[in-house]
Amino acid sequence: MGAMQAPLHGVRVLELGSTIAGPSAGRHLADLGAEVIKVEQPEGDQLRTWGELAPDGTSWWFKSHNRNKQLVTFDLRAPDDVATVRRLALSCDVVLENFRPGWLEERGLGPLALRAQKPELIYVSISGYGQTGPYANRPGYGNIAEAMGGLRYITGEPDGPPMRVGISIADELGGLYAVIGVLAALHARSRDGRGERVDVSLIESTFSLMQATLPEYVHCGRVTERTGNRYLRAAPNSVYPTRDGGWLAIGGNSQSIFRRLVTLMGTPEVADDPRFATNQTRAANAPELDALIAAWTKTLDLAEANGALAAAGVPAGPVMSIEAIAADPHFRARGAVTSVPDDDGAAVATYGAVPRLSEHPLRLERAAGRLGRDQAAVLRALDAPAPERAAPGSAGALAPTSIAT
């Protein structure tokens, strides 16, 4: 029996996105096997210049973030290019964009215009505030969404300022929600043949992760504040210092796990202390409990403490830098740290595809590369009669092509 095709083999996506959120969604769809055509303006995606640059002048981040895609270049301010992009859009199953609301509509590339010609088209928009509402037309980036969506308010030390998470998490969340929308729309279309308008807001993507904060405020009047590493609703659940200067995350929330933890610490009586007897009392007395645990972890080196906790069945893990992750045997064994070739065959470090599927494996084929790399191949496929087109995701459709732009 031959190798199974990727789950989204045969699905064609036009990505009119830039920087992080839209291209993140496109990356996940490409990993799932969709043929993703990424349109860049003549000056190229901004992400090409963000962070450390490869010898060819393109950022390593861009090469990894836009893997598995066909790269084309069109000027969306030029009528002839817009006409070609419209033809491309109408040849696709999905259009994915993260422009300011209304910008593509002004050029005849909005959902109403395209779906009037192709009702089964799935049109996905990612924006700061969504396509409707009082703030819809405001410019919005991920950092604004993290602030207004509540995440930064609760992140940081109690006596310090609001803090950002170390990555652009709102953009990545927006990309994931866009993928969820595409998958739902594709499934619905398989039933009724109808396309869909998918509206993803970065502020709502962030707000959707705020867990207990909304119901506890509405029903109890509780405003969640910053607590540093302390988790308000379960304990113990924090990071603890070790003798050799490391940090170890420990989660001993359930009764059975907590009892195993304190037994390992040599203080089994702590499990019967009224301050720590239930999760609610442990959470209320978390500073005292954390001090007891830290006093124990500081007597051990990181590897020693982590090994002892694993043997005792207590969830724990070291706080790992990217240097440690890149060398970790588990990440490597599962392919979470991997690489894809660039245009010249050199390896570009990248993240493994998520999730894992047993019957329809995801694909990692090549890194993003030169601006307009696949222009000729994409235009040939657009002009060819449908039966002669290269199959989505095939080697012919993805063959690198160098052209002048």
Catalytic residues: 171
**Tokens 């083999």, located at residue:** 9
Task: Please tell me the chain's helix, strand, coil percentages from 3-state DSSP, rounded to the nearest 5.
Answer: 40, 15, 45
Spatial separation of the C-alpha atoms in residues 272 and 263, rounded to whole Å: 12
Q: How far apart are CA 191 and CA 181, in angstroms?
A: 16
44-53 as b/e, with b when 16 or more CB fall inside 10 Å?
Answer: bbebbeeeee
Who contacts 68 (Cβ-Cβ below 8 Å, separation ≥6)?
A: 27, 30, 31, 36, 340, 363, 364, 365, 366
The answer to whether 226 and 156 are in contact (CB under 8 A) is: yes
Task: Compute the chain's Rg from CA coordinates.
Answer: 25
User: What are 257's two structure tokens?
Assistant: 């796990």
| Contact predicate 371/84, CB 8 Å | no
C-alpha–C-alpha distance, residues 102 and 392, integer Å: 30
Euclidean distance between CA atoms 120 and 12, whole angstroms: 13
Cis omega (within 30 of 0) for bond into 101? no
Which has the closest alpha carbon to 65: 97, 12, 25? 25
Alpha helices in 301-355 (DSSP H): 302-312, 322-327, 329-333
Measured distance CA(178)–CA(21) in Å, rounded: 9
